[in-house]
Amino acid sequence: MKNKITSLIWAGFAAVLLILISGFVFTFEDFTALKSYGEEPSYKVYALELPDTLSFAGELVPLHSPDLRERLDRELLVNTYWQSNMMLLLKRANKYFPTIEKILKEEGVPTDLKYLSVIESGLENAISPAGAKGFWQIMRTTGKEYGLEVNSNVDERYHIAFSTQMAAQYLKKAKDKFGSWTLAAASYNRGMSGIQRNLNAQKVESYFDLLLGKETSRYVFRILAVKEIIENPSKYGYVFDDTDLYYSVPVRYHGLDTAISNLTSFAQKMGVNYKVLKIHNPWLLQNHLNNKSRKYYEIAIPEKGHY
């Protein structure tokens, strides 16, 4: 009898609990930060179907040999399944590509070359162990050679417009030398002289026929893989809304040819704080601008209402 009473009590408790639970509708998103977009998430890992054709800057990429297909497959797999990084690249690309594309067009460079900045820096003002800096990972001597100001007070390698112009000039020079945007891209990693030595030694004319060191051998295929995924995100399993992407903040430019003794005070006069000023002008390295030469600078000031 005692066991029967206990069973009835537990049955009643379960019934009450069921009634309480039925008053709530739980979804996948109640238990996770992920958005389901109406679909249950899949954590299976699939082999990728390689595209039948690929092009880069108007040049058809040969995919006929096992060597080339395996190199492409590797980079597609690495970038597809490094999901957090690729999602960040997709979000940042929406923010920075319009600026980069505009400058490349003005310089007469195919916009596919923007993908070099993606694999060089992840679209961040990164610093390499060797001292290369900015979106385009420009070395100090190279930047100065191409006219960028690089010193302890100002470093225009961090200026997205100026550094993109410099990269475009380098790539045009390399294209004139090699006759191919693919070889020009490879030379951005290996250097023009390094690529030329390998072409001469191996008596070939195409990047895809060269035997190169590991980094440069992967370099163009990394570009191709990132281009393929960013241009076809849903094909590779990336799902997002436009509102999930990052957007650039509109700015106005304050021109001057004088020194700024204190950037914090200058920022306050412009209606922002030091942090926001530095976000939009990372090329200003210190809390002052020397400008003994009375050079003309344009400082980006974000429009009101965005911070």
- Residue 293 counted as domain residue: yes
**Are 225 and 96 contained in the same domain?**
yes
**Are 260 and 147 contained in the same domain?**
no
| CATH label of the domain that carries residue 212 | 1.10.530.10
Domain boundary among 202, 228, 244: 244
- Structure confidence at residue 44 (pLDDT): 83
Q: Note down the domain range covering 199.
A: 54-244
C-alpha distances in angstroms, 108 versus 41, 44, 105, 173? 43, 43, 5, 12
Taking the chain, what is the end-to-end CA distance rounded to the nearest angstrom?
Answer: 71
Written as six digits, the tokens of 1 are: 């009898």
**Are 99 and 194 contained in the same domain?**
yes
**Are 142 and 259 contained in the same domain?**
no
- Structure confidence at residue 62 (pLDDT): 95
Domain boundary among 244, 264, 289: 244
> Using CA atoms, how far apart are residues 82 and 97, in angstroms rounded to an integer?
21
- Structure confidence at residue 12 (pLDDT): 55
> Using CA atoms, how far apart are residues 175 and 177, in angstroms rounded to an integer?
5
**Are 217 and 265 contained in the same domain?**
no
The size of the chain, in residues, is: 307
Question: Which phi and psi angles does 44 have, rounded to 5°?
Answer: -75, 150
- Residue 24 counted as domain residue: no
> Using CA atoms, how far apart are residues 81 and 151, in angstroms rounded to an integer?
39
The pTM for the full model equals 0.86
* SS3 assignment for 136-182: CCECHHHHHHCCCCECCCEEHHHCHHHHHHHHHHHHHHHHHHHCCHH
Q: Is 87 helix (H, G, I), strand (E, B) or coil?
A: helix
- Structure confidence at residue 43 (pLDDT): 75
pLDDT tens digits for range 226-238:
999 999 999 999 9
**Are 187 and 283 contained in the same domain?**
no
**Are 280 and 142 contained in the same domain?**
no
Q: Which residue has the tokens 């990372």?
A: 282
Specify the number of domains making up the chain.
Answer: 2
The strand pair at 251-256 and 59-61 is best described as unpaired
- Structure confidence at residue 101 (pLDDT): 98
> Using CA atoms, how far apart are residues 295 and 286, in angstroms rounded to an integer?
17
Residues in the chain, pLDDT under 70: 1-36, 38-42
**Are 257 and 137 contained in the same domain?**
no
- Structure confidence at residue 108 (pLDDT): 97
Q: How far is C-alpha 87 from the chain's CA centre? A: 10
**Are 146 and 274 contained in the same domain?**
no
Domain boundary among 223, 244, 265: 244
Contact 134, 126 (CB under 8 A): yes
